[in-house]
Structure 1
Amino acid sequence: MRYEFVENIEHFAPHAFAGEQGTGLFRSHSHVTDEITLILEGEGHYSSNDQNVQVAAGDLILIPPGIVHGFVCLKAWNGISIHYDSQSIPSYCQYLLQHAYRQYPNQILISRLNRTRLERVKAAIQQLEEECVWVRLNENSYSQDLIRNALEAILLSYLTNAPGPSEPAIDGEDCDERMIQDALKEIHLTYFTSLKIADLAARRFHSESVFRKKFSKRVGLSPKQYIISVRLNEAKRLLRHTDKPVEFIASEVGFTSSSRFYELFVKHVGKTPLEWRNESYHNP
Protein backbone atom coordinates (compact mmCIF):
# COMPACT_ATOMS: atom_id res chain seq x y z
CA MET A 1 0.00 0.00 0.00
CA ARG A 2 1.32 3.41 -0.92
CA TYR A 3 0.29 6.99 -0.26
CA GLU A 4 2.37 9.29 -2.34
CA PHE A 5 0.84 12.74 -2.57
CA VAL A 6 2.84 13.95 0.46
CA GLU A 7 6.43 14.34 -0.72
CA ASN A 8 7.83 15.55 2.60
CA ILE A 9 6.98 17.40 5.82
CA GLU A 10 9.77 19.60 7.13
CA HIS A 11 10.14 21.42 10.45
CA PHE A 12 12.33 24.40 9.75
CA ALA A 13 14.30 27.22 11.32
CA PRO A 14 15.77 30.11 9.30
CA HIS A 15 18.66 29.52 6.93
CA ALA A 16 21.03 32.31 7.93
CA PHE A 17 23.46 33.85 5.47
CA ALA A 18 25.71 36.47 7.13
CA GLY A 19 22.82 37.45 9.37
CA GLU A 20 22.43 37.93 13.06
CA GLN A 21 21.36 35.07 15.25
CA GLY A 22 17.78 34.16 14.55
CA THR A 23 17.57 36.05 11.28
CA GLY A 24 18.41 35.10 7.75
CA LEU A 25 17.63 35.05 4.06
CA PHE A 26 16.52 31.97 2.18
CA ARG A 27 17.70 31.99 -1.43
CA SER A 28 15.02 32.06 -4.11
CA HIS A 29 13.86 28.67 -5.32
CA SER A 30 10.82 26.89 -6.71
CA HIS A 31 9.19 23.47 -6.41
CA VAL A 32 7.45 21.14 -8.84
CA THR A 33 5.10 20.35 -5.94
CA ASP A 34 2.60 22.53 -4.12
CA GLU A 35 3.58 23.84 -0.69
CA ILE A 36 1.73 24.58 2.53
CA THR A 37 3.73 26.37 5.23
CA LEU A 38 2.60 27.25 8.75
CA ILE A 39 4.61 29.90 10.61
CA LEU A 40 4.70 29.00 14.32
CA GLU A 41 7.00 31.73 15.66
CA GLY A 42 8.75 34.85 14.40
CA GLU A 43 8.13 37.19 11.49
CA GLY A 44 9.54 38.14 8.12
CA HIS A 45 8.63 38.43 4.45
CA TYR A 46 7.86 35.99 1.65
CA SER A 47 8.63 37.29 -1.81
CA SER A 48 8.19 36.33 -5.46
CA ASN A 49 8.74 38.22 -8.69
CA ASP A 50 5.76 40.49 -8.06
CA GLN A 51 5.03 40.06 -4.34
CA ASN A 52 6.55 40.99 -1.02
CA VAL A 53 4.23 39.77 1.74
CA GLN A 54 4.78 40.24 5.45
CA VAL A 55 4.23 37.04 7.46
CA ALA A 56 4.21 36.27 11.18
CA ALA A 57 3.31 33.55 13.67
CA GLY A 58 -0.09 32.07 12.88
CA ASP A 59 0.10 32.63 9.12
CA LEU A 60 -0.77 29.75 6.82
CA ILE A 61 0.88 30.05 3.39
CA LEU A 62 -0.04 28.31 0.13
CA ILE A 63 2.49 28.34 -2.71
CA PRO A 64 1.54 26.91 -6.12
CA PRO A 65 4.13 24.84 -8.01
CA GLY A 66 6.64 26.62 -10.20
CA ILE A 67 6.58 29.99 -8.43
CA VAL A 68 10.09 31.28 -7.71
CA HIS A 69 10.04 32.51 -4.13
CA GLY A 70 12.22 33.22 -1.13
CA PHE A 71 11.90 34.63 2.35
CA VAL A 72 13.64 37.00 4.72
CA CYS A 73 13.42 36.20 8.43
CA LEU A 74 13.38 39.37 10.53
CA LYS A 75 12.60 37.80 13.89
CA ALA A 76 13.64 34.27 14.86
CA TRP A 77 11.03 31.89 13.56
CA ASN A 78 10.16 28.27 13.07
CA GLY A 79 7.43 26.51 11.21
CA ILE A 80 6.35 23.49 9.22
CA SER A 81 6.30 23.03 5.44
CA ILE A 82 4.37 20.33 3.57
CA HIS A 83 5.23 19.59 -0.05
CA TYR A 84 2.65 17.54 -1.92
CA ASP A 85 1.38 16.61 -5.38
CA SER A 86 -1.91 18.44 -5.87
CA GLN A 87 -2.80 16.18 -8.82
CA SER A 88 -2.91 13.16 -6.48
CA ILE A 89 -4.88 14.56 -3.55
CA PRO A 90 -8.49 13.45 -2.90
CA SER A 91 -11.34 15.01 -4.84
CA TYR A 92 -12.70 17.47 -2.28
CA CYS A 93 -9.18 18.61 -1.38
CA GLN A 94 -8.61 19.32 -5.08
CA TYR A 95 -11.73 21.47 -5.16
CA LEU A 96 -10.68 23.43 -2.05
CA LEU A 97 -7.21 24.05 -3.46
CA GLN A 98 -8.57 25.08 -6.87
CA HIS A 99 -10.96 27.46 -5.12
CA ALA A 100 -8.07 29.09 -3.25
CA TYR A 101 -5.91 29.39 -6.37
CA ARG A 102 -8.80 30.71 -8.46
CA GLN A 103 -9.10 33.88 -6.37
CA TYR A 104 -5.45 34.87 -6.84
CA PRO A 105 -3.79 32.69 -9.51
CA ASN A 106 0.00 32.27 -9.58
CA GLN A 107 0.58 34.07 -6.30
CA ILE A 108 1.80 33.27 -2.80
CA LEU A 109 -1.37 33.09 -0.71
CA ILE A 110 -1.54 34.03 2.98
CA SER A 111 -4.28 33.28 5.51
CA ARG A 112 -3.93 34.81 8.96
CA LEU A 113 -5.35 32.25 11.39
CA ASN A 114 -7.03 33.12 14.65
CA ARG A 115 -5.94 31.18 17.73
CA THR A 116 -8.62 28.50 17.40
CA ARG A 117 -7.86 27.86 13.74
CA LEU A 118 -4.13 27.83 14.42
CA GLU A 119 -4.52 25.07 17.01
CA ARG A 120 -6.70 23.06 14.60
CA VAL A 121 -4.14 23.37 11.81
CA LYS A 122 -1.29 22.36 14.14
CA ALA A 123 -3.29 19.31 15.20
CA ALA A 124 -4.11 18.45 11.59
CA ILE A 125 -0.45 18.67 10.55
CA GLN A 126 0.53 16.46 13.48
CA GLN A 127 -2.09 13.93 12.39
CA LEU A 128 -0.83 14.13 8.81
CA GLU A 129 2.73 13.39 9.96
CA GLU A 130 1.74 10.50 12.18
CA GLU A 131 -0.52 8.82 9.63
CA CYS A 132 2.07 9.14 6.84
CA VAL A 133 4.41 7.12 9.07
CA TRP A 134 1.74 4.47 9.63
CA VAL A 135 1.02 4.27 5.90
CA ARG A 136 4.70 3.68 5.12
CA LEU A 137 4.79 0.97 7.78
CA ASN A 138 1.60 -0.49 6.29
CA GLU A 139 0.12 -0.91 9.77
CA ASN A 140 -3.11 1.13 9.80
CA SER A 141 -5.81 0.60 7.20
CA TYR A 142 -7.57 3.84 8.21
CA SER A 143 -4.52 6.07 7.81
CA GLN A 144 -5.44 7.17 4.29
CA ASP A 145 -8.84 8.44 5.43
CA LEU A 146 -7.20 10.26 8.34
CA ILE A 147 -4.66 11.85 5.96
CA ARG A 148 -7.50 13.02 3.73
CA ASN A 149 -9.35 14.46 6.74
CA ALA A 150 -6.21 16.25 7.93
CA LEU A 151 -5.55 17.88 4.56
CA GLU A 152 -9.20 18.91 4.28
CA ALA A 153 -9.00 20.52 7.72
CA ILE A 154 -5.87 22.49 6.76
CA LEU A 155 -7.34 23.76 3.47
CA LEU A 156 -10.71 24.59 5.04
CA SER A 157 -8.94 26.56 7.78
CA TYR A 158 -7.01 28.44 5.10
CA LEU A 159 -10.19 29.34 3.20
CA THR A 160 -12.10 30.30 6.35
CA ASN A 161 -9.56 32.98 7.22
CA ALA A 162 -8.26 33.89 3.75
CA PRO A 163 -8.85 37.45 2.54
CA GLY A 164 -11.53 37.47 -0.13
CA PRO A 165 -11.48 39.54 -3.29
CA SER A 166 -13.30 42.84 -3.18
CA GLU A 167 -16.97 42.30 -3.88
CA PRO A 168 -18.07 43.91 -7.15
CA ALA A 169 -21.64 44.73 -7.95
CA ILE A 170 -23.43 41.45 -8.67
CA ASP A 171 -24.46 41.12 -12.29
CA GLY A 172 -25.72 38.13 -14.27
CA GLU A 173 -22.23 36.84 -15.02
CA ASP A 174 -21.19 37.01 -11.36
CA CYS A 175 -24.34 35.12 -10.35
CA ASP A 176 -23.61 32.43 -12.92
CA GLU A 177 -20.04 32.07 -11.68
CA ARG A 178 -21.21 31.67 -8.09
CA MET A 179 -23.82 29.15 -9.19
CA ILE A 180 -21.25 27.08 -11.10
CA GLN A 181 -18.78 27.19 -8.20
CA ASP A 182 -21.52 26.00 -5.86
CA ALA A 183 -22.34 23.15 -8.25
CA LEU A 184 -18.66 22.19 -8.54
CA LYS A 185 -18.38 22.10 -4.76
CA GLU A 186 -21.40 19.80 -4.52
CA ILE A 187 -19.99 17.49 -7.22
CA HIS A 188 -16.63 17.18 -5.47
CA LEU A 189 -18.35 16.51 -2.15
CA THR A 190 -20.90 13.97 -3.42
CA TYR A 191 -19.44 12.48 -6.64
CA PHE A 192 -19.73 8.98 -5.13
CA THR A 193 -23.52 9.22 -4.78
CA SER A 194 -26.18 8.85 -7.48
CA LEU A 195 -25.89 12.48 -8.61
CA LYS A 196 -28.54 13.57 -11.06
CA ILE A 197 -28.06 16.58 -13.32
CA ALA A 198 -31.72 17.51 -12.95
CA ASP A 199 -31.28 17.73 -9.17
CA LEU A 200 -28.11 19.84 -9.48
CA ALA A 201 -30.06 22.21 -11.72
CA ALA A 202 -33.19 22.32 -9.57
CA ARG A 203 -31.23 23.15 -6.41
CA ARG A 204 -29.96 26.21 -8.26
CA PHE A 205 -33.38 27.18 -9.61
CA HIS A 206 -32.47 26.41 -13.22
CA SER A 207 -33.97 24.14 -15.80
CA GLU A 208 -31.75 21.19 -16.67
CA SER A 209 -31.09 22.47 -20.19
CA VAL A 210 -30.08 25.98 -19.04
CA PHE A 211 -27.89 24.54 -16.28
CA ARG A 212 -26.13 22.22 -18.73
CA LYS A 213 -25.49 25.11 -21.12
CA LYS A 214 -24.07 27.45 -18.44
CA PHE A 215 -21.99 24.70 -16.83
CA SER A 216 -20.52 23.55 -20.16
CA LYS A 217 -19.66 27.10 -21.17
CA ARG A 218 -17.85 27.80 -17.88
CA VAL A 219 -16.14 24.43 -17.28
CA GLY A 220 -15.58 23.14 -20.81
CA LEU A 221 -17.30 19.84 -20.06
CA SER A 222 -20.94 18.90 -19.62
CA PRO A 223 -22.01 18.21 -16.04
CA LYS A 224 -22.18 14.48 -16.78
CA GLN A 225 -18.71 14.46 -18.33
CA TYR A 226 -17.31 16.41 -15.38
CA ILE A 227 -18.79 13.99 -12.83
CA ILE A 228 -17.31 11.06 -14.77
CA SER A 229 -13.89 12.76 -14.85
CA VAL A 230 -13.97 13.36 -11.06
CA ARG A 231 -14.96 9.73 -10.44
CA LEU A 232 -12.25 8.39 -12.74
CA ASN A 233 -9.57 10.63 -11.22
CA GLU A 234 -10.51 9.43 -7.75
CA ALA A 235 -10.49 5.84 -9.01
CA LYS A 236 -6.96 6.33 -10.39
CA ARG A 237 -5.85 7.73 -7.03
CA LEU A 238 -7.26 4.71 -5.21
CA LEU A 239 -5.80 2.28 -7.73
CA ARG A 240 -2.36 3.83 -7.29
CA HIS A 241 -2.36 4.31 -3.54
CA THR A 242 -4.40 1.38 -2.20
CA ASP A 243 -4.75 -2.37 -2.64
CA LYS A 244 -8.54 -2.25 -2.77
CA PRO A 245 -10.18 -4.55 -5.35
CA VAL A 246 -11.18 -2.87 -8.60
CA GLU A 247 -14.87 -3.70 -8.12
CA PHE A 248 -14.80 -2.10 -4.66
CA ILE A 249 -13.17 1.04 -6.04
CA ALA A 250 -15.77 1.25 -8.82
CA SER A 251 -18.54 1.27 -6.22
CA GLU A 252 -16.68 3.62 -3.87
CA VAL A 253 -16.35 6.35 -6.51
CA GLY A 254 -20.00 6.17 -7.54
CA PHE A 255 -20.36 3.61 -10.34
CA THR A 256 -23.29 1.26 -9.79
CA SER A 257 -22.02 -1.10 -12.50
CA SER A 258 -18.49 -2.56 -12.63
CA SER A 259 -18.82 -3.13 -16.37
CA ARG A 260 -19.71 0.55 -16.90
CA PHE A 261 -16.67 1.53 -14.83
CA TYR A 262 -14.39 -0.69 -16.94
CA GLU A 263 -15.89 0.66 -20.15
CA LEU A 264 -15.42 4.32 -19.19
CA PHE A 265 -11.96 3.74 -17.70
CA VAL A 266 -10.69 2.12 -20.90
CA LYS A 267 -12.34 4.83 -23.02
CA HIS A 268 -10.77 7.73 -21.08
CA VAL A 269 -7.48 6.23 -19.91
CA GLY A 270 -6.69 3.78 -22.71
CA LYS A 271 -6.00 0.88 -20.32
CA THR A 272 -7.99 -1.40 -18.06
CA PRO A 273 -7.95 -0.48 -14.35
CA LEU A 274 -5.63 -3.42 -13.55
CA GLU A 275 -3.26 -2.53 -16.39
CA TRP A 276 -3.14 1.07 -15.17
CA ARG A 277 -2.54 -0.03 -11.58
CA ASN A 278 0.30 -2.36 -12.53
CA GLU A 279 1.92 0.33 -14.70
CA SER A 280 1.66 2.94 -11.92
CA TYR A 281 3.37 0.55 -9.49
CA HIS A 282 6.35 0.28 -11.84
CA ASN A 283 6.33 4.00 -12.76
CA PRO A 284 5.42 5.89 -9.56
Structure 2
Amino acid sequence: MDIGFMDCIANFHTNPSDKDNKEGIFQSHSHLSAEITLLVRGEGFYAAGEQNVEVLPGDLLLIPAGLKHSYVCIKAWEGYSLHIYDQNLPPYCQYLMSHAFSQRPGPILKASLTPGAAERALAAMHQIEEECRREEKTEYSYDLLRNALETLLLAYHTGTCDQAAEAPSEHPEEQMIQDALKEIHQNYHTSLKVSDLAANHYLSESIFRKKFTDRIGMSPKQYIISLRIDEAKRLLHTSRKPVEFIASEVGFSSSSRFHDLFVKHVGMTPMEWRRSGES
Protein backbone atom coordinates (compact mmCIF):
# COMPACT_ATOMS: atom_id res chain seq x y z
CA MET A 1 0.00 0.00 0.00
CA ASP A 2 1.67 3.20 -1.19
CA ILE A 3 0.64 5.83 1.33
CA GLY A 4 3.97 7.68 1.41
CA PHE A 5 4.96 7.37 5.05
CA MET A 6 3.79 3.81 5.81
CA ASP A 7 6.10 0.80 5.53
CA CYS A 8 4.36 -2.12 7.29
CA ILE A 9 2.65 -3.26 10.49
CA ALA A 10 2.94 -6.63 12.23
CA ASN A 11 0.98 -8.25 15.06
CA PHE A 12 3.60 -10.38 16.82
CA HIS A 13 3.21 -13.36 19.19
CA THR A 14 6.16 -15.10 20.85
CA ASN A 15 6.26 -17.87 23.46
CA PRO A 16 9.76 -18.52 24.89
CA SER A 17 8.64 -21.89 26.31
CA ASP A 18 8.31 -23.23 22.76
CA LYS A 19 11.71 -24.90 22.27
CA ASP A 20 11.31 -24.88 18.48
CA ASN A 21 10.57 -21.17 18.40
CA LYS A 22 13.78 -19.23 17.81
CA GLU A 23 12.06 -15.83 17.91
CA GLY A 24 12.41 -15.58 21.69
CA ILE A 25 15.94 -14.28 21.20
CA PHE A 26 16.28 -12.22 18.04
CA GLN A 27 19.63 -11.40 16.47
CA SER A 28 20.67 -7.78 16.17
CA HIS A 29 19.05 -6.13 13.17
CA SER A 30 18.03 -2.73 11.81
CA HIS A 31 15.37 -1.26 9.52
CA LEU A 32 15.35 1.45 6.88
CA SER A 33 12.16 2.69 8.55
CA ALA A 34 11.56 3.87 12.10
CA GLU A 35 9.67 1.54 14.44
CA ILE A 36 6.84 2.09 16.91
CA THR A 37 6.13 -0.97 19.06
CA LEU A 38 3.30 -1.45 21.55
CA LEU A 39 3.45 -4.41 23.94
CA VAL A 40 -0.03 -5.70 24.76
CA ARG A 41 0.90 -8.59 27.05
CA GLY A 42 4.01 -10.43 28.27
CA GLU A 43 7.47 -9.26 29.26
CA GLY A 44 10.87 -8.89 27.66
CA PHE A 45 13.77 -6.63 26.83
CA TYR A 46 14.88 -4.51 23.88
CA ALA A 47 18.57 -3.68 23.54
CA ALA A 48 20.75 -1.36 21.47
CA GLY A 49 24.45 -0.98 22.23
CA GLU A 50 24.78 -0.69 25.99
CA GLN A 51 21.10 0.17 26.46
CA ASN A 52 18.82 -2.56 27.79
CA VAL A 53 15.15 -1.59 28.11
CA GLU A 54 12.64 -3.71 30.02
CA VAL A 55 9.22 -3.77 28.33
CA LEU A 56 5.91 -4.56 30.03
CA PRO A 57 2.26 -4.46 28.91
CA GLY A 58 1.28 -0.93 27.95
CA ASP A 59 4.83 0.13 27.05
CA LEU A 60 5.26 2.05 23.79
CA LEU A 61 8.70 2.06 22.16
CA LEU A 62 10.16 4.37 19.51
CA ILE A 63 13.19 3.04 17.62
CA PRO A 64 14.92 5.23 15.01
CA ALA A 65 15.62 4.04 11.48
CA GLY A 66 19.01 2.41 10.99
CA LEU A 67 19.54 1.56 14.68
CA LYS A 68 20.93 -1.93 15.30
CA HIS A 69 18.80 -3.48 18.04
CA SER A 70 17.61 -6.82 19.36
CA TYR A 71 14.93 -8.12 21.68
CA VAL A 72 14.26 -11.07 23.94
CA CYS A 73 10.89 -12.35 25.14
CA ILE A 74 11.00 -13.73 28.70
CA LYS A 75 7.24 -14.18 29.18
CA ALA A 76 4.89 -15.03 26.28
CA TRP A 77 4.12 -11.72 24.67
CA GLU A 78 1.92 -10.10 22.05
CA GLY A 79 2.01 -6.69 20.51
CA TYR A 80 2.18 -4.56 17.39
CA SER A 81 5.21 -3.21 15.55
CA LEU A 82 4.61 -0.39 13.10
CA HIS A 83 7.30 0.73 10.64
CA ILE A 84 7.17 4.23 9.17
CA TYR A 85 9.37 6.39 6.95
CA ASP A 86 9.85 9.32 9.27
CA GLN A 87 11.25 11.58 6.53
CA ASN A 88 7.86 11.36 4.77
CA LEU A 89 5.62 11.97 7.77
CA PRO A 90 2.75 14.48 7.76
CA PRO A 91 3.77 17.76 9.45
CA TYR A 92 2.46 17.26 12.99
CA CYS A 93 3.58 13.60 13.12
CA GLN A 94 6.95 14.75 11.84
CA TYR A 95 7.27 17.22 14.70
CA LEU A 96 6.14 14.72 17.35
CA MET A 97 8.65 12.12 16.14
CA SER A 98 11.64 14.45 15.89
CA HIS A 99 10.81 16.16 19.19
CA ALA A 100 10.71 12.79 20.98
CA PHE A 101 14.23 11.90 19.87
CA SER A 102 15.58 15.38 20.56
CA GLN A 103 14.30 15.47 24.14
CA ARG A 104 14.90 11.98 25.55
CA PRO A 105 18.11 10.03 26.37
CA GLY A 106 19.00 6.70 24.78
CA PRO A 107 18.54 5.46 21.22
CA ILE A 108 15.45 3.40 22.16
CA LEU A 109 12.69 5.50 23.72
CA LYS A 110 9.99 4.09 26.00
CA ALA A 111 6.77 5.48 27.48
CA SER A 112 4.70 3.52 29.98
CA LEU A 113 1.07 4.26 29.12
CA THR A 114 -1.89 4.42 31.45
CA PRO A 115 -4.56 1.75 30.81
CA GLY A 116 -6.74 4.27 28.98
CA ALA A 117 -3.88 5.53 26.82
CA ALA A 118 -2.77 1.95 26.07
CA GLU A 119 -6.32 1.14 24.94
CA ARG A 120 -6.34 4.14 22.60
CA ALA A 121 -2.90 3.21 21.25
CA LEU A 122 -4.09 -0.35 20.58
CA ALA A 123 -7.18 0.97 18.78
CA ALA A 124 -4.87 3.15 16.64
CA MET A 125 -2.76 0.08 15.77
CA HIS A 126 -5.94 -1.79 14.80
CA GLN A 127 -6.99 1.13 12.59
CA ILE A 128 -3.62 1.14 10.84
CA GLU A 129 -3.71 -2.63 10.39
CA GLU A 130 -7.19 -2.45 8.87
CA GLU A 131 -6.20 0.28 6.42
CA CYS A 132 -3.02 -1.53 5.41
CA ARG A 133 -4.99 -4.68 4.64
CA ARG A 134 -7.17 -2.89 2.11
CA GLU A 135 -6.27 -3.99 -1.39
CA GLU A 136 -6.91 -0.47 -2.63
CA LYS A 137 -6.68 2.65 -0.53
CA THR A 138 -9.68 4.95 -0.37
CA GLU A 139 -9.75 8.74 -0.46
CA TYR A 140 -9.84 8.64 3.35
CA SER A 141 -6.94 6.23 3.89
CA TYR A 142 -4.27 8.93 4.20
CA ASP A 143 -6.27 10.88 6.78
CA LEU A 144 -7.16 7.76 8.78
CA LEU A 145 -3.53 6.64 8.90
CA ARG A 146 -2.33 10.12 9.78
CA ASN A 147 -4.84 10.43 12.63
CA ALA A 148 -3.98 6.96 13.97
CA LEU A 149 -0.27 7.74 13.88
CA GLU A 150 -0.85 11.05 15.67
CA THR A 151 -2.72 9.11 18.38
CA LEU A 152 0.27 6.80 18.88
CA LEU A 153 2.81 9.60 19.01
CA LEU A 154 0.67 11.72 21.34
CA ALA A 155 0.27 8.65 23.57
CA TYR A 156 4.05 8.40 23.73
CA HIS A 157 4.50 12.06 24.69
CA THR A 158 1.67 11.91 27.22
CA GLY A 159 3.21 8.77 28.70
CA THR A 160 6.59 10.40 29.18
CA CYS A 161 4.94 13.36 30.89
CA ASP A 162 2.98 11.02 33.16
CA GLN A 163 6.15 9.16 34.17
CA ALA A 164 7.76 12.27 35.63
CA ALA A 165 7.18 16.01 35.60
CA GLU A 166 9.55 17.58 33.13
CA ALA A 167 12.31 19.61 34.71
CA PRO A 168 12.43 23.31 33.82
CA SER A 169 14.42 23.85 30.67
CA GLU A 170 18.04 24.87 31.19
CA HIS A 171 17.95 26.50 27.76
CA PRO A 172 14.89 28.77 27.57
CA GLU A 173 15.77 29.95 24.05
CA GLU A 174 15.86 26.37 22.75
CA GLN A 175 12.53 25.70 24.47
CA MET A 176 11.12 28.80 22.76
CA ILE A 177 12.19 27.44 19.36
CA GLN A 178 10.72 24.02 20.11
CA ASP A 179 7.43 25.60 21.19
CA ALA A 180 7.36 27.67 18.00
CA LEU A 181 8.04 24.58 15.87
CA LYS A 182 5.23 22.72 17.60
CA GLU A 183 2.81 25.58 16.96
CA ILE A 184 3.85 25.76 13.31
CA HIS A 185 3.44 22.02 12.74
CA GLN A 186 0.04 22.10 14.43
CA ASN A 187 -1.25 25.18 12.63
CA TYR A 188 0.66 25.41 9.32
CA HIS A 189 -2.64 24.99 7.44
CA THR A 190 -4.22 28.06 9.06
CA SER A 191 -3.56 31.75 8.45
CA LEU A 192 -0.58 31.53 10.81
CA LYS A 193 1.40 34.77 11.09
CA VAL A 194 5.02 35.21 12.16
CA SER A 195 3.98 38.24 14.20
CA ASP A 196 1.64 36.03 16.25
CA LEU A 197 4.39 33.47 16.87
CA ALA A 198 6.68 36.27 18.05
CA ALA A 199 3.99 37.76 20.29
CA ASN A 200 3.37 34.38 21.92
CA HIS A 201 6.96 34.52 23.19
CA TYR A 202 6.94 38.25 24.05
CA LEU A 203 9.43 39.07 21.30
CA SER A 204 9.44 41.57 18.49
CA GLU A 205 8.94 40.00 15.08
CA SER A 206 12.47 40.90 13.96
CA ILE A 207 14.13 39.37 17.04
CA PHE A 208 12.01 36.24 16.83
CA ARG A 209 12.78 35.89 13.12
CA LYS A 210 16.53 36.18 13.78
CA LYS A 211 16.53 33.65 16.62
CA PHE A 212 14.46 31.20 14.57
CA THR A 213 16.61 31.62 11.45
CA ASP A 214 19.87 31.21 13.38
CA ARG A 215 18.62 27.96 14.93
CA ILE A 216 16.68 26.39 12.00
CA GLY A 217 18.58 27.75 9.00
CA MET A 218 15.60 29.42 7.34
CA SER A 219 13.11 32.12 8.29
CA PRO A 220 9.80 31.23 9.97
CA LYS A 221 7.91 32.23 6.81
CA GLN A 222 10.14 30.03 4.63
CA TYR A 223 9.69 27.15 7.06
CA ILE A 224 5.89 27.44 6.98
CA ILE A 225 5.82 27.59 3.17
CA SER A 226 8.16 24.60 2.92
CA LEU A 227 5.93 22.62 5.28
CA ARG A 228 2.83 23.51 3.26
CA ILE A 229 4.49 22.52 -0.03
CA ASP A 230 5.73 19.20 1.39
CA GLU A 231 2.24 18.33 2.63
CA ALA A 232 0.72 19.36 -0.71
CA LYS A 233 3.18 17.03 -2.48
CA ARG A 234 2.08 14.14 -0.24
CA LEU A 235 -1.61 14.87 -0.77
CA LEU A 236 -1.21 15.13 -4.54
CA HIS A 237 0.33 11.65 -4.60
CA THR A 238 -1.94 10.01 -2.03
CA SER A 239 -5.38 11.47 -2.82
CA ARG A 240 -7.56 12.48 -5.75
CA LYS A 241 -8.61 15.74 -4.14
CA PRO A 242 -8.75 18.71 -6.55
CA VAL A 243 -5.61 20.85 -6.62
CA GLU A 244 -7.56 23.92 -5.48
CA PHE A 245 -8.88 22.00 -2.46
CA ILE A 246 -5.38 20.83 -1.52
CA ALA A 247 -4.06 24.39 -1.82
CA SER A 248 -6.67 25.55 0.67
CA GLU A 249 -6.21 22.50 2.93
CA VAL A 250 -2.50 23.16 3.43
CA GLY A 251 -3.00 26.84 4.17
CA PHE A 252 -2.85 28.84 0.92
CA SER A 253 -5.64 31.39 0.52
CA SER A 254 -4.80 31.87 -3.17
CA SER A 255 -4.61 29.04 -5.73
CA SER A 256 -2.39 31.14 -7.99
CA ARG A 257 0.11 31.78 -5.17
CA PHE A 258 0.10 28.08 -4.35
CA HIS A 259 0.78 27.27 -8.01
CA ASP A 260 3.65 29.78 -8.26
CA LEU A 261 5.30 28.68 -5.00
CA PHE A 262 4.88 24.99 -5.87
CA VAL A 263 6.64 25.49 -9.21
CA LYS A 264 9.39 27.49 -7.48
CA HIS A 265 10.01 24.82 -4.82
CA VAL A 266 9.38 21.63 -6.83
CA GLY A 267 10.28 22.59 -10.37
CA MET A 268 6.97 21.43 -11.86
CA THR A 269 3.29 22.30 -11.60
CA PRO A 270 1.04 20.54 -9.06
CA MET A 271 -0.64 18.52 -11.86
CA GLU A 272 2.73 17.50 -13.29
CA TRP A 273 3.77 16.36 -9.81
CA ARG A 274 0.55 14.36 -9.44
CA ARG A 275 1.12 12.66 -12.78
CA SER A 276 4.71 11.84 -11.83
CA GLY A 277 3.36 9.76 -8.94
CA GLU A 278 1.10 7.76 -11.23
CA SER A 279 3.88 6.39 -13.41
Find the aligned partners of 2:17 and 2:63 in 1 and give their Cα distance.
Answer: 23
Q: Are residue 264 (structure 1) and residue 233 (structure 2) matched?
A: no
- Maintained 8 Å contact 1:103/1:165: no
1:190 to 177, 187, 191: 187
1:80 — aligned with what? 80
- Structure 2 distance, partners of 1:106, 1:215, is 27
2:197 is matched by which residue type in structure 1? L
Contact persistence 2:139–2:240 (CA under 8 A): no
User: How far apart are residue 249 of structure 1 and its match?
Assistant: 1.1
Equivalent residue number for residue 141 of structure 1? 139
- Structure 2 residue aligned with 1:179: 176
> Number of aligned pairs?
277
Q: Aligned ranges for residues 18-97 of structure 1 at < 5 Å?
A: 24-97=24-97
Q: Deviations 1:125-161 (Å, cap 9, x if unpaired)? A: 1122223345x434x5333322221111110000111
- Aligned residue in 1 for 2:214: 217
Q: Secondary structure at the match of 1:137?
A: coil
User: Is 1:246 aligned to residue 243 of structure 2?
Assistant: yes
Contact 1:23 1:74 in 2 (8 A): no
Structure 2 CA distance, aligned partners of 1:267 and 1:21? 55
Structure 2 unaligned regions, length at least 5: none
| Aligned-residue offset at 1:164 | 6.7
AA in 2 matched with 1:130: E
**What's the CA shift string for 1:209-261, capped at 9, x where partnerless?**
11101111111110001001110111111011111122221111111122211
CA RMSD for the aligned pairs?
Answer: 2.4
Question: Within 2, Cα distance between the matches of 1:57 and 1:84?
Answer: 22
Amino acid in structure 1 at the alignment position of 2:276: E
- How far does the alpha carbon of each residue in 1:12-36 deviate from its partner, in whole angstroms, 9 at most, with x for none? 1238699587982011110001111
**Following TM superposition, by how much is the alpha carbon of 1:105 offset from its aligned partner in structure 2, in angstroms?**
7.0
1:74-102 Cα offsets, whole Å, 9 max, x none, are 11111111111112221111111111111
The correspondence for 1:157, drawn from 155, 158, 162, is: 155
Deviation at 1:281, TM superposition (A): 2.7
For structure 1, the residue ranges without an aligned partner over 5 or more in a row are: none
Q: Does the C-alpha gap of structure 1 residues 183 and 35 become closer, same or farther in structure 2, counting only changes over 3 Å?
A: same
SS in 2 for 1:53: strand
Aligned twin of 1:107: 107
| 2:7 partner amino acid | E
> Aligned residues: percent identity?
54
Q: Secondary structure of 1:13's match?
A: strand
Match of 1:281 in 2: 278
Q: Which stretch of structure 1 is more off in the superposition, 25-34 or 41-50?
A: 41-50
Alpha-carbon distance, 1:120 to partner? 0.9
Does the C-alpha gap of structure 1 residues 105 and 260 become closer, same or farther in structure 2, counting only changes over 3 Å? farther
Could you say if the C-alpha distance between residues 167 and 267 of structure 1 is closer, same or farther in structure 2, counting changes exceeding 3 Å? same
Query: Conserved in 2, the CA contact under 8 Å of 1:131 and 1:147?
Result: yes
Compute the TM-score of the two structures, normalised by the length of structure 2.
0.91
CA distance in structure 1 between the aligned counterparts of 2:13 and 2:261, rounded to whole angstroms = 48
Q: Report the alpha carbon displacement of residue 177 of structure 1 after superposing the two structures with TM.
A: 1.2
Q: State the distance in 1 between where 2:191 and 2:166 align.
A: 37
Preserved CA contact (<8 Å) 1:14 1:25: no
Provide closer, same or farther for how the CA distance between residues 21 and 236 of structure 1 changes in structure 2, counting only shifts above 3 A: closer
Would the aligned equivalents of 2:33 and 2:64 in 1 still touch at CA under 8 Å? yes
Rounded Cα–Cα distance in structure 2 between residues aligned with 1:281 and 1:142: 18
> SS state of the match for residue 76, structure 1?
strand
Please tell me whether the aligned partners of residues 22 and 77 of structure 1 are also in contact (alpha carbons under 8 angstroms). Answer: no
- The answer as to whether partners of 1:11 and 1:81 remain within 8 angstroms in 2 is yes
SS at match of 1:144: helix
Whether contact under 8 Å (1:240, 1:280) holds in the other structure is yes
My pick for the range that moved more, 5-14 or 98-107, is 98-107
Distance 1:69 1:32 in 2: 13
